[in-house]
Amino acid sequence: MNHATQKKTGDFGKQVQTMFSSIAPCYDFLNALLSLGRDRYWRKCAIDTLAPQPGGRFLDLATGTCDLAIEIASRKAKGIRVVGGDFSLPMLRLGKEKLDAKNLHSNICLHASCAEQIPFADEAFHGIVTAFGIRNFSDPELALNEMRRVLKPGGRIVVLEFSPPPYPVFRNIFAFYFQRLLPWIGAWVSGHKNAYSYLPQSVGEFPYGERFAKILESAGFKNISYNTLTLGIVTIYAGYKIG
C-alpha cells in the first residue's frame, strides 16, 4: 500500500499538530519567503479549479491561517459559505484575525477538527479543497473517505500538493534548495529545527501524479485529473463525487 494511504503509527498526528502550532506565528511569512511569493498563485489556481458557484457551501480542510478559505470567499459569486477546518488552534486564531480584518465572518466560519473525523453531515458541501495538507493527515485514506461522505453528489474535491519537478536539471536545483537550504532557512526563522526538515521528507514520501490519482479513484472519486504548476513544483488534483 502507498505511503499516502497508510495509517501512520504512534503519535504522528499529535506531533504534527504540535509542530504546526509552534510555527504558526511565522507560518505565512515563511510560506511567502520560501515559495518566492508563488504560494498566492498556487492557491488562486486551486480555487479556479474548484470553481465555486453562487450559493455553494465549501470546506477547506487543513485551512491553517485561512488564506485558501479567504480566496474562495473573495470570488464574485453571491451566497458562498466556507467552513475552514484545522486541528491547530494557534493557526485558527491567526485565521480569525484575518477574518476580523476583512469582515468575512458572515462568509467563513472556522472549526477545530481533524480530517479523519469531519464533524458535518453527509452531503453537506458542494466542494472540498485541501492545500498541502493531505500528506500531514494521520490516516489519508480515511480522510479521503470522509471527504467523499460530506461531499454532495456532483461535488468536486481539489487537492493542492507539492511534487518533484519532472525536468532533470531543474529537479536537481530544486532538490538542493528544498532539501538543504529550505530546512536551514525555515529553522532559522521559525526557531523550530524539525518543522522544515519534515517538509521535504514528507513530500518525498508522497505518491504524486498518477499514483495519487489512483488513490483518489480508489476512494470513490471519478473523472480524476491533475496538472502541475511552476515547472512541476506543485500539482493540483481534482475529482468528482458521482452519485
pLDDT one-digit tens code per residue, 59-95: 999 999 999 999 999 998 889 999 999 999 999 999 9
Q: Output the nine-digit C-alpha cell for 208.
A: 504524486
Domain residue limits, the chain = 3-240
Rounded to whole angstroms, the Cα distance separating 119 from 11 reads 22
Instruction: Say whether pTM exceeds 0.75.
Output: yes
Q: What are phi and psi of 160, to 5 degrees?
A: -105, 125
Amino acid (one-letter) located at 112: A
**Homologous superfamily, domain 3-240:** Vaccinia Virus protein VP39 (3.40.50.150)
The pLDDT score that the predictor gives to residue 12 is: 83
The pLDDT score that the predictor gives to residue 96 is: 97
The pLDDT score that the predictor gives to residue 3 is: 41
Instruction: Give residue 113's Cα distance to chain centre.
Output: 14
Q: Give the bridge partners for 228, in sequence order.
A: 235
Residues of the chain with pLDDT under 50: 1-4, 10
The pLDDT score that the predictor gives to residue 2 is: 40
